Amino acid sequence: MINDEYFLAALRLGAGNDPIPGHVSAAARDAYRLRVPMAVTAAAHAESATIRSVRDDDSSHLVRFIAAGLTFDLEVTEGDGLIDVAGHISPYPGEGALVDVRSPHLTLTRRIAPTGHFVATGLPPGWLSVVCHRPGHAPVQTTWVRIRP
């Protein structure tokens, strides 16, 4: 039987001798590129911690995020292998505010209507995040959610 001290010492020795695998370094670089510097992260609201279906055919889902005085209501619709996002940010973030609807490989930037609404279409299924950029304020981003067709 091995005691904890010998086991930890063996782990430390092993960790110092093996190089980091290339795919691990590449994945870390990819994840780092997805960050939004100085952003406040909006978590899913307790009532919508999981994306819930709106329609009987499961083609449309709603999720709400809240942070920094903003509420993001997103309706995600699936069709033809792509996803569309219809969103509403309240209160209205102000003149000149923009929203980025992001996947790991594509970012669509949209103006926010005075009503707080925006739309982005043709995104690939998979991971999705929305970032609101307000003049004079830190960006507010939603956590990443996975949309599966």
Q: For 10-28, what is each residue's pLDDT tens digit?
A: 777 777 666 677 887 788 7
Q: Are strands 126-133 and 140-142 parallel, antiparallel or unpaired?
A: antiparallel
Cβ neighbours of 83 (radius 10 Å) = 24
Q: How far is 76 from 120, CA to CA, in rounded Å?
A: 10
What residue spans of 18-141 are helical by DSSP H? 22-33
Which of 145, 141, 118 has the alpha carbon at shortest distance from 62? 145
For residue 124, give the 3-state DSSP assignment.
coil
Higher pLDDT, 20 or 40: 40
Give the number of C-alpha atoms closer than 13 A to the C-alpha of residue 72, restricted to the C-beta side: 28
40-147: CATH topology is Immunoglobulin-like (2.60.40)
Q: How far is 88 from 144, CA to CA, in rounded Å?
A: 17
pLDDT band for position 49 (50/70/90)?
very low
For residue 33, give the 3-state DSSP assignment.
helix
| Sequence-ordered list of residues with C-beta below 8 angstroms from that of 86, at least 6 positions apart, any chain | 74, 75, 77, 117, 118, 119
For residue 144, give the 3-state DSSP assignment.
coil
Judge whether 142 and 129 are in contact, CB under 8 Å: yes
In the chain, where the domains are located: 4-33, 40-147
Q: For 86-119, what is each residue's pLDDT tens digit?
A: 999 999 999 999 999 999 989 999 999 999 999 9
